[in-house]
Chain A
Amino acid sequence: MSFSVTAPSTRQKWIAGILVIGYALITLLPLIWIVATGFKSSPDAIAYPPKIVFDPTVEGYVNLFTTQTRLIDGNAEAVEDLPWYEKLVRERGNTIVGPSRFSERFFNSVIIGFGSTFFAIVLGTAAAYAFSRFKVPLKDDLLFFILSTRMMPPIAVAIPIFLMFRNLGLNDTHAGMILLYTAVNLSLSVWLINGFIDEIPIEYEEAALIDGYTRFQAFYKVVLPQAATGIASTAIFCLIFAWNEYAFAVLLTSGTAQTAPPFIPTIIGVGGQDWPAVAAGATLFLLPVMVFTILLRKHLLRGITFGAVRK
């Protein structure tokens, strides 16, 4: 069997292009559907056959952020003076009685997601540096032990963790969730970052030591900038896990520290099946990780392929 090394022909390029676009459409369709549903009115959202063309409305977003109640007749305020979102709600005979809990839950997700990522990266980098550079007794066994914490699905230990959290008073607390996600992510971050630091020749640090810097300065000023790519891609993986985690969030949070994933489905139950509001919540929930990933996209690509080629 031989491989062609000539440039692809125009026809081959077309075929490749169609395949890629087709694949992208298939994978992106659910996302497009979610974003579109967020801008539909309730009847449009459940219309059959599904509506591709529809009148866009922000009703879903208004519903997502507000708590409403049925408007009792005789409440004759001047409709013109009301803000635009109240008018929108009035059209369906409702009135806004206050904000919903969505922004709170969303903020919980931000604190817990980014908080646990921060700790997983800081602790992971410190441990990885030590494993990579110092003579750690039983190094290989320790690394294997750290990896072995990933060998079963985390949810398998849900009940012991639930009991522990209850006894320690960590149920439904931000600290508890940050602790849990940090613990789950730590093995990933130690292993990935260890690989990245191993790739950095030790001579750079030695040069810095000779140049009159302490070991910590050498780590901070020479190793860290070079490991930044790897650390950034590890951070994305950690954040995506913590951000999307559903099972533990359902089990361990219910109020104060509830994150967005268990909250969004609860919208369905409030005043009928409000699919546009659910879709609006899902859309907003996707944004931070998307923005974070796009910002670090270059690093991510380099990070994934980093170390694949031996120098």
Chain B
Amino acid sequence: MAQIRIENVRKEFGAFTAVQSSSFTVEDGEFFMLLGPSGCGKTTTLRMMAGLELPTSGKIYIDGEEVGMKPASKRDIAFVFQMFALYPHMNVGKNMSYPLISQGMPKADVKKRVLEVAQILGIDHILNKSVGGLSGGDRQRVALGRAIVREPKAFLMDEPLGALDAEFRERMAEELRALHDRMGATTVYVTHDQLEAMQMGDKIVVMNHGVVEQFGVPQDIYDWPATKFVANFIGSPPMNFLDFHGIIGSGFDAVDLAGCKISIPEMREGAEGDLTLGVRPEHIHFSDTSEYRGQVVATEYLGTDQIVTLETPNGEVKARIASSVAVAAGEIIGLEFDSRTLTVFSGPKGHALRSSANEKVLAHG
């Protein structure tokens, strides 16, 4: 097992830049998520780690060794494809033994090892079956089995649950995470599903347009997004953005929103012009005493919670509040924000301004 380090890696396809100078480190034994919308460069990044694409520039280290230009077959990593890519002309057992045969392992050992792994995955009864007739879940398990048998330095997975139906996906996600905990293998996992990333990952990299937007543990990324993109991409419903025009200086601990003073964490840097206050739906509370008001547009009932959409002087917001609170459309309600949790974004790319609350997270993001 190994640490994977990406340093200033860049990938161009002709005139199109798929990945722009990215750097991050996957620690040994980590379950690492590469998260982003389609076309953001996450799969290209993964393929460069695997050696299926060569970086235009930059360096990739696996276990301290620079492998950027090495062919895939020499990197000792395993790759799980979204469509599984099980060899259709071989049965389950042959598929799983294929990586071992390439290493010249004796036949008896191969058989033993394949059976061992098949038992872990619960597929030892289908070893002689053709892969064509398998269910999605079993195909997934065979693909995992083929990856595990060799005990590679790292597992790279490209949306491995993407081809499964929703019901099954959850179960496989749990199985996958349990398997990882059992083996402790470094795993890099590509997904566009933010829930999957938060649920399974030890650490997440959020990418957009080939740029690493933020990199850290799921909770830091959720609580303290480094950019508006991350704030919007993660969380459902996403973070609310209250746009306002004003000046913020270092040391400020409040902003002026439509004439109301809203307290925020103490700022460490200043900005002026078009700014945005970011607030998570669960950090909005109804309060009769608050001067900042919004009119209810719609409500969505979700069981324990409800999502209330309100029109405020600074745009639409969604609040997550308990279902027990009775709300009717058209009602005007006073809103209060958890001041400890707020983030101010500024600039054309919507970078988060550093404050006493998020400076630690942003320092290494």
Contact = CB atoms under 8 A, between A and B. Distances in A.
Contacts of A201: 83, 85
A208 B99 CA distance: 8
Interface in B89-127: 89, 98-99, 102-103
A225 B89 contact: yes
Contacts of A212: 73, 99, 102-103, 150
B224 to A, nearest CB: 36
Interface string B53-84: 00000000000000000011100011101010
A206 B72 contact: yes
Contacts of B78: 210
B140 to A, nearest CB: 14
Interface string A204-217: 10111111111001
B146 interface: yes
B195 interface: no
A289 interface: no
A278 to B, nearest CB: 46
A210 B77 contact: yes
Nearest to B88: A226
A145 B87 CA distance: 34
Nearest to A225: B89
A210 B79 contact: yes
A212 B52 CA distance: 12
A222 B94 CA distance: 12
A207 to B, nearest CB: 4
Nearest to B152: A210
A211 B98 contact: yes
Contact of B73 (A204, A213, A226): A213
A204 B87 contact: yes
A80 interface: no
Nearest to B149: A211
A214 B79 contact: no
A116 to B, nearest CB: 29
Contacts of A208: 87, 98
> Which 4 A-B pairs have CB atoms at the shortest separation, nearest pair first?
A203-B85, A212-B102, A211-B99, A209-B72
Interface of A: 201, 203-204, 206-214, 217, 222, 225-226
Given A203-B81, A204-B87, A210-B52, 17 more contacts: A201-B83, A204-B88, A206-B81, A206-B85, A207-B86, A209-B51, A209-B72, A210-B77, A210-B99, A211-B99, A211-B102, A212-B73, A212-B99, A212-B103, A212-B150, A217-B102, A226-B88
